Amino acid sequence: MMSPRIAARLLVAVASLGGVAALAVPASAAPAAATGSCFFYDNQNNQPGACADETTNYSQGDVGIWNDPNNPTARLATGTAGQVFKTFDYVPTGQSTTCTNGATTTYWYHGTDLASGQTGWVPDCYLNGEPS
Protein backbone atom coordinates (compact mmCIF):
# COMPACT_ATOMS: atom_id res chain seq x y z
CA MET A 1 0.00 0.00 0.00
CA MET A 2 1.29 3.47 -0.90
CA SER A 3 2.04 5.65 2.09
CA PRO A 4 -0.26 8.66 2.63
CA ARG A 5 2.74 11.00 2.37
CA ILE A 6 3.70 9.67 -1.09
CA ALA A 7 0.08 9.71 -2.26
CA ALA A 8 -0.19 13.35 -1.15
CA ARG A 9 3.03 14.25 -3.01
CA LEU A 10 1.75 12.60 -6.19
CA LEU A 11 -1.61 14.36 -5.90
CA VAL A 12 0.07 17.75 -5.41
CA ALA A 13 2.38 17.09 -8.37
CA VAL A 14 -0.56 16.21 -10.65
CA ALA A 15 -2.60 19.18 -9.41
CA SER A 16 0.29 21.58 -9.95
CA LEU A 17 0.50 20.50 -13.58
CA GLY A 18 -3.17 21.37 -14.05
CA GLY A 19 -4.01 17.83 -15.03
CA VAL A 20 -6.43 15.27 -13.73
CA ALA A 21 -5.19 11.76 -13.15
CA ALA A 22 -6.01 8.80 -10.98
CA LEU A 23 -3.35 7.67 -8.54
CA ALA A 24 -2.00 4.27 -9.38
CA VAL A 25 -1.50 2.02 -6.38
CA PRO A 26 1.49 -0.32 -6.68
CA ALA A 27 0.57 -3.87 -7.70
CA SER A 28 2.36 -5.33 -4.70
CA ALA A 29 3.86 -3.81 -1.60
CA ALA A 30 7.35 -4.73 -0.41
CA PRO A 31 7.77 -6.90 2.70
CA ALA A 32 7.93 -5.29 6.14
CA ALA A 33 11.68 -4.59 5.83
CA ALA A 34 10.98 -1.97 3.17
CA THR A 35 7.51 -0.53 3.65
CA GLY A 36 6.25 2.98 4.29
CA SER A 37 7.84 5.36 1.84
CA CYS A 38 9.64 2.67 -0.14
CA PHE A 39 7.55 0.53 -2.46
CA PHE A 40 7.48 -1.41 -5.73
CA TYR A 41 6.18 0.21 -8.88
CA ASP A 42 6.29 -3.20 -10.52
CA ASN A 43 8.12 -6.17 -9.09
CA GLN A 44 8.38 -8.09 -12.35
CA ASN A 45 11.86 -8.94 -13.58
CA ASN A 46 13.38 -8.00 -10.20
CA GLN A 47 12.99 -4.30 -10.94
CA PRO A 48 14.07 -2.12 -8.02
CA GLY A 49 11.51 -0.64 -5.69
CA ALA A 50 11.37 3.12 -5.30
CA CYS A 51 11.90 5.37 -2.32
CA ALA A 52 10.46 8.86 -2.55
CA ASP A 53 13.73 10.67 -1.91
CA GLU A 54 13.73 9.69 1.77
CA THR A 55 16.49 9.75 4.37
CA THR A 56 17.72 7.48 7.17
CA ASN A 57 20.81 7.29 9.38
CA TYR A 58 23.54 4.68 9.60
CA SER A 59 23.00 2.50 12.66
CA GLN A 60 26.69 1.61 12.99
CA GLY A 61 30.11 2.98 12.14
CA ASP A 62 32.38 1.88 9.30
CA VAL A 63 29.49 1.17 6.90
CA GLY A 64 30.59 0.40 3.36
CA ILE A 65 28.90 2.18 0.48
CA TRP A 66 29.24 -0.24 -2.41
CA ASN A 67 29.15 -0.14 -6.20
CA ASP A 68 26.63 -2.96 -6.78
CA PRO A 69 24.10 -4.72 -4.53
CA ASN A 70 24.44 -8.03 -6.40
CA ASN A 71 28.22 -8.09 -6.70
CA PRO A 72 29.71 -5.52 -4.28
CA THR A 73 33.33 -5.49 -5.41
CA ALA A 74 34.28 -1.84 -4.90
CA ARG A 75 33.82 0.04 -1.62
CA LEU A 76 33.16 3.62 -2.77
CA ALA A 77 32.98 5.33 0.64
CA THR A 78 32.40 4.71 4.33
CA GLY A 79 29.46 5.90 6.41
CA THR A 80 29.55 6.60 10.14
CA ALA A 81 26.84 5.99 12.76
CA GLY A 82 24.36 8.86 12.78
CA GLN A 83 25.27 10.26 9.36
CA VAL A 84 22.42 10.68 6.89
CA PHE A 85 21.91 8.41 3.89
CA LYS A 86 19.39 9.72 1.32
CA THR A 87 17.65 6.81 -0.44
CA PHE A 88 16.28 6.64 -3.98
CA ASP A 89 15.49 2.97 -4.52
CA TYR A 90 16.21 -0.53 -3.26
CA VAL A 91 16.41 -4.16 -4.30
CA PRO A 92 15.08 -6.98 -2.11
CA THR A 93 17.33 -9.64 -3.64
CA GLY A 94 20.88 -8.28 -3.53
CA GLN A 95 23.84 -10.28 -2.24
CA SER A 96 23.13 -11.82 1.16
CA THR A 97 25.09 -9.84 3.75
CA THR A 98 25.61 -10.26 7.49
CA CYS A 99 26.12 -6.91 9.20
CA THR A 100 28.29 -6.44 12.27
CA ASN A 101 25.13 -6.37 14.43
CA GLY A 102 24.52 -10.01 13.43
CA ALA A 103 21.51 -9.35 11.16
CA THR A 104 21.55 -10.92 7.70
CA THR A 105 19.76 -9.30 4.77
CA THR A 106 19.39 -9.32 0.99
CA TYR A 107 17.79 -5.85 0.95
CA TRP A 108 20.10 -3.12 -0.33
CA TYR A 109 19.29 0.60 -0.54
CA HIS A 110 20.67 2.87 -3.26
CA GLY A 111 21.30 6.49 -2.33
CA THR A 112 23.76 9.21 -1.44
CA ASP A 113 25.78 9.63 1.73
CA LEU A 114 25.12 13.28 2.57
CA ALA A 115 28.44 13.71 4.43
CA SER A 116 30.66 12.55 1.55
CA GLY A 117 28.32 13.08 -1.41
CA GLN A 118 29.09 9.52 -2.58
CA THR A 119 26.27 7.58 -4.24
CA GLY A 120 26.15 3.80 -3.87
CA TRP A 121 24.45 0.83 -2.22
CA VAL A 122 24.15 -0.05 1.49
CA PRO A 123 22.66 -3.23 3.06
CA ASP A 124 19.56 -2.32 5.06
CA CYS A 125 20.88 -3.87 8.30
CA TYR A 126 23.35 -0.95 8.46
CA LEU A 127 20.53 1.61 8.38
CA ASN A 128 18.28 2.76 11.23
CA GLY A 129 15.02 1.16 10.28
CA GLU A 130 13.43 2.04 7.04
CA PRO A 131 13.96 5.34 5.28
CA SER A 132 11.39 7.92 6.37
How far is the C-alpha of 77 from the C-alpha of 87, rounded, in Å?
15
**pLDDT tens readout for residues 92-126:** 889 999 999 899 999 999 999 999 999 999 998 99
Taking every pair of C-alpha atoms in the chain, what is the biggest distance, in angstroms? 50
H or E element, residue 95: none
How far is the C-alpha of 29 from the C-alpha of 19, rounded, in Å?
27
**pLDDT tens readout for residues 12-50:** 333 333 433 333 333 333 323 333 466 655 555 566 777
Say whether pLDDT at 56 is over 90. Answer: no
14 SS3 class = helix
How far does Cα 88 stand from its chain's mean position? 6
| Entry pTM | 0.66
